[in-house]
Amino acid sequence: MGKQINVALIGNPNTGKTSVFNQLTGLNQKVGNYPGITVEKKEGICKLPRGLKAHILDLPGTYSLNASSFDENVVIELLLNKNDKDYPDVAVVVSDVENLKRNLLLFTQIKDLGIPTILAINMADRMERRGISLDVELLEERLKTKVALVSARKRMGIDYLKELIINYRHIPIEPCVNASVIDPEYFGNLRKAFPNQSLYKLWLVITQDVNFGNINRAELNTNTSFNTKSTSDLKRLQQKETIIRYQFINGVLKETMSVDKNAATDLRSRLDRILTHKVWGYVIFFGILLLIFQAIYSWSSVPMDWIDATFASLSEITKETFPSGPFTSLIAEGIIPGLGGIVIFIPQIAFLFLFISILEESGYMSRVVFLMDRIMRRFGLSGKSVVPLVSGTACAIPAVMATRNIENWKERLITILVVPFTTCSARLPVYLIIIALVIPDKSFLGFNMQGLTLMILYLLGFGMAIFSAWLLHKIMKSNLKSYFVIEMPNYKVPMVKNVAINVVEKTKSFVFGAGKIILAISIILWVLASYGPGDDFENAEEIVTSKYTETEQQVNHDEIEEEVASFKLKNSYIGIMGKGIEPVVAPLGYDWKIGIAIISSFAAREVFVGTLATIYSVGSDEEETIKNRMAAEINPILGGPLFTFASGVSLLLFYAFAMQCMSTLAIVKKETNTWKWPVLQLIIMSAFAYVVALIAFQVLK
| C-alpha distances out from residue 422 to 103, 161, 201, 416, 425, Å | 34, 41, 42, 11, 10
694, 588 Cβ separation under 8 angstroms = yes
b/e 277-288 (16+ beta carbons within 10 angstroms → b):
eeeebbebbeee
Paired with 43 in beta bridges are 30, 57
SS3 assignment for 33-57: ECCCCCCEEEEEEEECHHHCEEEEE
Q: Do you know the residue count of the chain?
A: 701
Domain boundaries, the chain: 5-170, 179-257, 280-476, 515-700
- CATH dotted code for 5-170: 3.40.50.300
Positive or negative, the Cα torsion across 67, 73, 78, 84?
positive
pLDDT of the residue at 697: 94
pLDDT of the residue at 88: 93
Q: What is the DSSP letter of 634?
A: B
Residue 258 phi, psi (nearest 5): -135, 145
List, as residue ranges, the binding site for Mg(2+): 22, 25-26
Residue 605 phi, psi (nearest 5): -55, -40
Residue 595 phi, psi (nearest 5): -60, -45
In sequence order, the 6+-apart residues with CB closer than 8 A to the CB of 179 are 112, 187, 199, 200, 203, 241, 244, 245
70, 39 Cβ separation under 8 angstroms = yes
Q: What is the DSSP letter of 408?
A: S
List, as residue ranges, the binding site: 11-18, 22, 25-26, 36-40, 58-61, 122-125
pLDDT of the residue at 217: 54
Positive or negative, the Cα torsion across 491, 493, 498, 503?
positive
Quote the CA–CA distance of 598 and 660 in Å, as a whole number.
9
| C-alpha distances out from residue 112 to 106, 176, 199, 201, 643, Å | 10, 8, 9, 8, 66
User: What is the distance in angstroms between the CA of the first residue and the CA of the last residue of the chain?
Assistant: 74
The closest of 525, 526, 537 to 570, measured between CA atoms, is: 537
State the alpha helices, DSSP H only, in 618-700.
Answer: 626-632, 645-657, 662-672, 676-700
Quote the CA–CA distance of 359 and 357 in Å, as a whole number.
5
pLDDT of the residue at 36: 44
Q: Where are the beta strands (DSSP E) in 578-644?
A: none
pLDDT of the residue at 209: 64
List, as residue ranges, the binding site for GTP: 11-18, 36-40, 58-61, 122-125
User: Pairing mode, if any, of strands 29-33 and 447-448?
Assistant: unpaired
Question: What are the average pLDDT values for consecutive 10-residue runs of the chain, which has 701 residues?
Answer: 82 85 78 49 84 88 78 82 88 90 92 92 83 90 92 87 92 88 85 81 78 55 62 85 92 89 65 86 85 76 83 85 85 79 76 82 80 76 73 73 71 88 83 87 80 89 90 73 62 82 79 72 79 80 72 62 74 84 89 83 74 67 62 72 89 90 78 87 93 94 80
What is the enclosing helix (H) or strand (E) of 74?
Answer: helix 70-80
